[in-house]
C-alpha cells in the first residue's frame, strides 16, 4: 500500500509560490500623519487640478521660455562659488585642486555636449525661435566656466606659455669649426 507522498518541504513550497510581501502594517496611521504614500499625493494633485484651469499654449510657451532662461543661466550662478574655491585651494598639486580642475573642465564640456538635451523639454512650435538665443547664452555661459578652468590651470603653471616650457625643443648652436686640444 503506497502511502501518500510526504508533503513537499517548505522551501519547495516557498520556491514555487513565494510568500507575498508582507503589507507594511495593518495598524492605521496615527492622527495628523499625512503619510508618504503616492496614492495620497495623486489624490491631492487631482483634487487641486480639478480646481485650476488648464493654461493656454501661449502661457505654456512663456513658462517654458522662462524655465529655459533659468537653465541657460544656471552655470554662471555657480561661477563665483567655484572661483572662490579655486582661489582658496591654492596652486599646488594636491588631490583637492586636481579634482577641482578636472571638474572645472568636465562640467562645461559635458554641458556643451548636452546642449540640445538640456533644452529638449522646452522645445515647442512657439519657443523654437526664442530658444536659439537662449542656447547661445547657455553656450557662452559654459565657455565662461571653461575659461575659469583655464585660468586656474594657468595659475597652476600647467599651460606651456613660458620660454622654459619649450626649452627642451630648443637646440644648442652647431659650431662650424672644431678645435682639438693637445695638452
Q: Which residues bind other proteins (CB under 8 A)?
A: 11, 91-93, 156-158, 162-165, 167-168, 170-183
Residue 70 vs 165, nearer CB to other proteins: 165
Output the CA–CA distances (angstroms, integers) from residue 16 to 12, 33, 84, 88, 96, in the order listed.
Answer: 6, 38, 61, 62, 54
Smallest distance from other proteins to CB 166, Å? 9
Smallest distance from other proteins to CB 157, Å? 4
Residue 2 vs 179, nearer CB to other proteins: 179
Residue 126 vs 157, nearer CB to other proteins: 157
Residue 4 vs 9, nearer CB to other proteins: 9
CA proximity to 116, closest of 139, 93, 98, 95: 139
53's grid cell: 484651469
Q: At what angle do helices 95-113 and 128-155 cross, to 10 degrees?
A: 160
CB neighbour list of residue 101: distance below 8 Å, 6 or more residues apart: 149, 152, 153, 156
Smallest distance from other proteins to CB 148, Å? 19
Smallest distance from other proteins to CB 165, Å? 7
Smallest distance from other proteins to CB 6, Å? 19
**Other beta carbons within 10 Å of 108:** 21
For residue 171, how many C-alpha atoms fall within 13 Å in the half-sphere facing its CB?
3
Amino acid at each position: 500500500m503506497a502511502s501518500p507522498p510526504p508533503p513537499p518541504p517548505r522551501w519547495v513550497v516557498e520556491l514555487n509560490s513565494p510568500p507575498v510581501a508582507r503589507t507594511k502594517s495593518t495598524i492605521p496611521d496615527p492622527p495628523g500623519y499625512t503619510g508618504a504614500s503616492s496614492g495620497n499625493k495623486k489624490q491631492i494633485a487631482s483634487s487641486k487640478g480639478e480646481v485650476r484651469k488648464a493654461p493656454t499654449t501661449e502661457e505654456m510657451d512663456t513658462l517654458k521660455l522662462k524655465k529655459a532662461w533659468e537653465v541657460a543661466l544656471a552655470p554662471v550662478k555657480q561661477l563665483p562659488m567655484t572661483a572662490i574655491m579655486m582661489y582658496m585651494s591654492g596652486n599646488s598639486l594636491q588631490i583637492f585642486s586636481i579634482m577641482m580642475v578636472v571638474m572645472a573642465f568636465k562640467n562645461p564640456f559635458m554641458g556643451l555636449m548636452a546642449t540640445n538635451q538640456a533644452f529638449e523639454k522646452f522645445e515647442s512650435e512657439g519657443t523654437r525661435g526664442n530658444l536659439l538665443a537662449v542656447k547661445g547664452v547657455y553656450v557662452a555661459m559654459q565657455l565662461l566656466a571653461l575659461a575659469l578652468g583655464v585660468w586656474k590651470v594657468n595659475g597652476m603653471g600647467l599651460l606651456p606659455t613660458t620660454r622654459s616650457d619649450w626649452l627642451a625643443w630648443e637646440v644648442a648652436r652647431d659650431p662650424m669649426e672644431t678645435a682639438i686640444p693637445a695638452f
